[in-house]
Structure 1
Amino acid sequence: MAVVAPAQPSVLQTGNWFQFSVKSDGIYKIDYNLLRQAGLNPDQIDPRNLQLFTGSHGMLPQPNSSPRLADLQELAIEVVGEGDGRFDRNDFILFYANGPDRFEYRTSKSLFFYENNLYDDKNFYYLSVRAQPGKRVPQQPSEPGTHPIIREFEDFGYYETERYNELKSGRHWFGEQFDSRLDATIQFDVPGILGGSSLKLVSHVMGQSFASANFKVFFNNVQVADQPVSPIPNTQYGVKGSVRADTITFSSALVGASAQANQLIRYEFVKAASLRSVGYLDYFIFTCKRALALYGKQTRFSSEASLNNVITTFEVSALSAESRVWDVSDRLNAKSQNFFLQSGKGMFSTATTSLKSFIVFNSAAATLATFEKKINNQNLRESPPVSLVIVTTPALQAEAQRLASHRNQQGISSWVVTTGEIYHEFSGGKQDVVAIRDFIRHQYLRSGQLKNVLLLGRGSYDYKNRIANNTNLVPLYMSRNSLSPLETYSSDDFFGFLESNEGEWRESPAQNHTLDIGIGRIPAKTADEAAVVVTKLIEYDTHPKRLGPWHKQILFVADDGDFNIHHTQSNDLARNNFELPRPEFDVTRVWVDNFEQPERPSGQISPATYEALDQRIEKGALIVNFTGHGSEQIWMQERA
């Protein structure tokens, strides 16, 4: 049951807003020229009132019960030169930003965890000039006294590319393919690895072989692991890949890591003697210990060893008078750490009862953020209570609004919102299917009136437009499984799982959820396609000949195969939902096994099933329900 929840307005409700993006973690700046590019006149603003906001870190959690931000949050920034109340040509904004991915050091395993963002390659920040002063980066003094000194830190190298999705389904993509070429080398610039320290390499690979195959893993041309991959069955519905995951620990001395800046990770695939044997690199991440210093333009650091001390002194090498250190343990509330500089070494002391994160940098070398666009005012969090919400994109918004107007005239309160508007408030601008679900859930709980959601726009298994001619307008929920033909899927049901104990939707073992509202989709790719469907929907309600016997016709279509499980499922749906409780409806079954299925070189076909289905749809039916295998264009293996 929906529970009415109090609404809080979005910060985007008032003011002028400008969106900027970053692609990785680090210190960024917005200067005079970038403000002009965004459409702001720096000469006419009070820089002390500049405020910067951002959203969630990484992807949103699927479970409804997991904590999440209520709206965009202000973060602490430094505006260099704001003291005179003017934004001069040499002034600029400094801020610590997270990229779209999320990573953290896990002390329980002494290695880094990295979560690649499945939905977006950018993270976004929102700038506005407000009526009051904004949050600023405060100074953090060094703790007095003598304390244990730390001169090392944990660091990592991460590598993942997303090139192949074998079944064109699910959210798991794989990178380098080992087939015609059987090796790949990835280079990292990581100087300062401590001699005698341990390295930990987490390696995920995938094999498609009908007999056992093997990956050989090398670090600086020294083999550190074999990763055998199990064979897969040579069957139509068998799993299409075998994933192997290993954590490999070895000494930096073994691979000469401390003696060189460039670290080389090489994979070699040893094919199986079978009909098919292809390998793929999924991803790898290695954790190492480095001497604490400024490497390049900026270096982020934390040290597990510091947890042994109540207060720790950090000694950072390769610093200059222009160097800065920020404490970024709280990403929204960075602090400028005071330090003592002597002979190129910066020293500061701070409490370390919890793992602290810092970044050392030179202000002049900070990376420019990228201006994206000006944001219109909006306030979805105080949206009107309606029965129907239509989620679409700007390209299809006019047709969505036409349908909403028609439904409003029918007495069905309706409202149109775009995916971009949802992302601004619910995922900090990043594309995220969970943001759409969170918005729907917010509307459902707040108003208590939401009954149905229509998604107007085609979705795709490719969230990031990696494939040619991809159309991802309103994203689909994709399963975690991408390798098992019988266990990978896309579904819009996810958007209707609104109870507090739902949302995770585990797959192994399977976790059942229940729909709390109706979810539908019109998978239009263009405004013209959307217009055709919307016009038909309106005519169903307004055409003089709209009433007829088709209103009582229910058509159930079922595939064969899988020991006729789809026939059984279709029959149960027909009997339990219509024939027994609602005998006033006329139920018709079109099951492929009831029709001739001649063999062809490409397999069985069933023109008779196609003809029967076509005739019944032409006659009209209130509901057509298909159970079985298929795609957007084809039902059943027999291509009915």
Structure 2
Amino acid sequence: MNYLKRNLILLFIIVGNLLFAQQTKIKQFQLNWVDNVDFTINKNLKIKTSLVEGNLIDGNFNPTYTSSWDIENSVEIGGFSIINIQYEPIYNNSNLYGVNYIPKALDVKFNIVKSRNKSTAILNIMPLLKEGTTIKRIVSFDLEYSVFANKKSIKSKISTVKNSVLSSGNWYKFSIDTTGVFKIDKKFMENLGIDVKSINPKNIQIYGNGGQMLPFKNSDLRYDGLQENAILIAGEEDNSFDDNDYILFYAKGPHTWKNTKSANLSEVEHQFNIFSDKAYYFITIADTPGKRIIEQTKITNTVNQQITTFHDFTFYEKDEINLFAAGQQWFGDSYNIENIHSYTIPFNNIDPSENVIVRVRGVAESSLTSQMDVKVNNQSLFGINFYAKGGLTKAVANENSGNIQLSGNSVNVEITYNNNGNPSAKAYLDYIEILGKKKLVGNEKQFSFRNFDVDKTAGIFEFLIENASSISAVWDVTDAINPTVILNESTSNNFIFKAVGGIPKEYIVLNEKDYYVPQKVEDTQIANQNLHSLNNIDYIIITQDFLKEQAQRLADYHIQNSNLKVQVISLHQIYNEFSSGSPDITAIRDFVKHLYDNATTNKIKYVCL
């Protein structure tokens, strides 16, 4: 009997693995080209071109090809390749296309999108290819791809928060403008409107999720509701918030860095928040003690290697100009009149033995090809080439980077724009990024640090930070809402601590003279709200407060005449609960998704903005 049971269990395991195993499929495609098509771009522009039947052209007047088909739910793409490609040359129609934008290698995008419990595979391919001076077009190909069942995606990601923390109690909102450790003293608390004399500081709580932009993809991680942050309160032991007492907390600013977990410096890039230059946090006095920062457990294992340097990155960007009053790309310094600009970017304690990466992105609006030439510390490092605008492409953005060994505490960048004799050409800087290694030295300033070599190597490492007399504390801020205090294991003028390698870690060095100061906002006290509790609504009207009365009139009409369950929602309330107070419009999408996912009867059908 036991033998039979074991065999049945083994059979179930094999069948289960087969169900979730990778499956390889092949799909054939035939492209039917239609030549000499009259295509209307707008009332002033008509062109004659060649198209793939059932498809259109892109902004460069080049043909596109897209195909989509239904696919099993809860599967992901394991890999794909284009095989058995058949081409035919183009002899007479090559002048119809935006030749500069035809790729030299196959340009293919293949992914799976999910909507309302339905999965669709979407293939996008550029059907033209350039080989030297010859252009050829695809007439047929096969797509070989594999899919596998994603066990994690079988259950939809549904918000588990059914009530917002803002639904009860007294709440006060404030802002910060960068990432680091901030100090709140008694005076700031009073300016917020808090009666400091009547509170027990042990019950002070701070909530917030940081100010970085919300991810555009539904599948990417975001916090579910406002999170309580662990904080440190000096002087709370006597249950009184006195004149010399203060709060320290770690906050994430509006701008952030992506791909840091890759532990590859060349893959790291900044993300500038296009919606807000501030992040927002909320403070309340609860009836129970709040979350506090604790000391990190000391590591006693034998050290494999000592670390005296760290990887760091900074950027220069000013978002001032949107070229055509459309889209999400903003640019800064103009090179239209003054074609040379110089920048001095602070980058303290550069490790001279390692290369520094300098990355520059710009944009040009010109009918001729043009270039930006980049010098670093008076050395020519690289150029950035811009194609001539053409088709519907009114401006061309591009970036480039170079490596250079430097020393000192700053990086000098000089950028020259060459318009190649076109006086009407316009060019703008997008950003400058500096990425490199620095020496670990305390300098009476707070600074964040990490070491990618440690992050990707197993073992026990010892960090040594020189000039410990200028260091008041070191925190582990890998988990931004739950930082921990790291104890100094040295009695010399070095700050030393051990860390486990192979795990991405983020730290911050603090100096008591350089805590950042938060800022008071205009509407400090927040009225209680609870959007997370809403469900089973057909129609929501999202509005600013000054239009709320008119929005309610519209809601009443649809309640009475359309038999709909309608709710008027204040925009700032969505921001408070779904983007930690920041005016990030992605929060609207997340709120609507929350209503859809949590409906038991009426799923959201209409949204009026």
TM-score above 0.5: yes
1:124 and 1:42 map into 2 onto residues whose CA distance is 21
Change (3 A) 1:136 1:158: same
Counterpart residue number, 2:280: 124
SS of residue paired to 1:325: strand
Counterpart residue number, 1:442: 594
2:596 and 2:210 map into 1 onto residues whose CA distance is 22
Equivalent of 2:327, from 163, 166, 170?
A: 170
Counterpart residue number, 2:247: 93
- Equivalent positions of 1:335-374 (< 5 A) are 335-372=484-521, 373-374=524-525
Task: Tell me how many residue pairs correspond in the alignment.
Answer: 448
Could you tell me whether the CA contact under 8 Å between 2:444 and 2:514 is conserved in 1? no
**What amino acid sits opposite 1:142 in the alignment?**
K
Counterpart residue number, 2:47: none
Counterpart residue number, 1:505: none
Equivalent of 2:575, from 423, 438, 443?
A: 423
Could you tell me whether the CA contact under 8 Å between 2:374 and 2:381 is conserved in 1? yes
**What amino acid sits opposite 2:419 in the alignment?**
K
Counterpart residue number, 2:543: 392
- Equivalent positions of 1:295-314 (< 5 A) are 295-307=443-455, 308-314=457-463
- Stretches of structure 2 that go unaligned for 5 or more consecutive residues are 1-115, 118-155
**What amino acid sits opposite 1:388 in the alignment?**
Y
1:192 and 1:167 map into 2 onto residues whose CA distance is 41
SS of residue paired to 1:167: coil
Could you tell me whether the CA contact under 8 Å between 2:175 and 2:279 is conserved in 1? yes
Equivalent of 2:565, from 400, 413, 435?
A: 413
Counterpart residue number, 2:164: 10
Equivalent of 2:476, from 306, 316, 327?
A: 327
Change (3 A) 1:84 1:432: same
1:346 and 1:439 map into 2 onto residues whose CA distance is 45
1:365 and 1:170 map into 2 onto residues whose CA distance is 38
Change (3 A) 1:377 1:219: same
Residue 304 of structure 2 is aligned to residue 156 of structure 1: no
Change (3 A) 1:450 1:336: same
Equivalent of 1:58, from 202, 208, 212?
A: 212
1:264 and 1:296 map into 2 onto residues whose CA distance is 24
Change (3 A) 1:450 1:272: farther
2:159 and 2:182 map into 1 onto residues whose CA distance is 37
Q: CA deviation at 1:368?
A: 1.4
1:193 and 1:108 map into 2 onto residues whose CA distance is 18
Counterpart residue number, 1:276: 424
SS of residue paired to 1:396: helix
Could you tell me whether the CA contact under 8 Å between 2:539 and 2:565 is conserved in 1? yes
Could you tell me whether the CA contact under 8 Å between 1:443 and 1:450 is conserved in 2? no
Equivalent of 1:134, from 282, 290, 301?
A: 290
1:6 and 1:290 map into 2 onto residues whose CA distance is 42
Change (3 A) 1:94 1:388: same
SS of residue paired to 1:401: helix
Counterpart residue number, 2:434: 286
Q: CA deviation at 1:244?
A: 1.6
- Residues 461-518 of structure 1, C-alpha deviation per residue, up to 9 Å, x if partnerless? xxxxxxxxxxxxxxxxxxxxxxxxxxxxxxxxxxxxxxxxxxxxxxxxxxxxxxxx34
Q: What's the % identity of the aligned pairs?
A: 28
1:135 and 1:108 map into 2 onto residues whose CA distance is 34
Counterpart residue number, 2:396: 242
2:584 and 2:170 map into 1 onto residues whose CA distance is 25
Change (3 A) 1:450 1:391: farther
Counterpart residue number, 2:269: 113
Q: CA deviation at 1:66?
A: 2.7
Could you tell me whether the CA contact under 8 Å between 2:265 and 2:452 is conserved in 1? no
Structure number with higher strand proportion: 2
Change (3 A) 1:398 1:520: closer
1:125 and 1:305 map into 2 onto residues whose CA distance is 33
**What amino acid sits opposite 2:388 in the alignment?**
P
Could you tell me whether the CA contact under 8 Å between 2:159 and 2:224 is conserved in 1? no
Counterpart residue number, 1:318: 467
Could you tell me whether the CA contact under 8 Å between 2:578 and 2:591 is conserved in 1? yes
SS of residue paired to 2:202: helix
Change (3 A) 1:223 1:342: farther
**What amino acid sits opposite 1:286 in the alignment?**
I
Equivalent of 1:402, from 533, 540, 553?
A: 553
Counterpart residue number, 1:84: 238
Change (3 A) 1:157 1:74: same
SS of residue paired to 2:469: coil
Could you tell me whether the CA contact under 8 Å between 1:137 and 1:336 is conserved in 2? yes
SS of residue paired to 1:206: strand
Counterpart residue number, 1:190: 347
**What amino acid sits opposite 1:394 in the alignment?**
D
1:519 and 1:10 map into 2 onto residues whose CA distance is 22
1:198 and 1:108 map into 2 onto residues whose CA distance is 13
1:5 and 1:31 map into 2 onto residues whose CA distance is 35
Could you tell me whether the CA contact under 8 Å between 2:163 and 2:533 is conserved in 1? yes
SS of residue paired to 1:205: strand
SS of residue paired to 2:190: helix
Could you tell me whether the CA contact under 8 Å between 1:166 and 1:240 is conserved in 2? no
1:56 and 1:182 map into 2 onto residues whose CA distance is 38
Q: CA deviation at 1:189?
A: 2.1
**What amino acid sits opposite 2:222 in the alignment?**
R
1:6 and 1:306 map into 2 onto residues whose CA distance is 36
Aligned-residue CA RMSD in angstroms?
2.1
Q: CA deviation at 1:329?
A: 0.8
Task: Give the alignment's TM-score, normalised by structure 1.
Answer: 0.67
SS of residue paired to 1:279: strand
SS of residue paired to 1:363: coil
**What amino acid sits opposite 1:267 in the alignment?**
I
1:321 and 1:283 map into 2 onto residues whose CA distance is 32
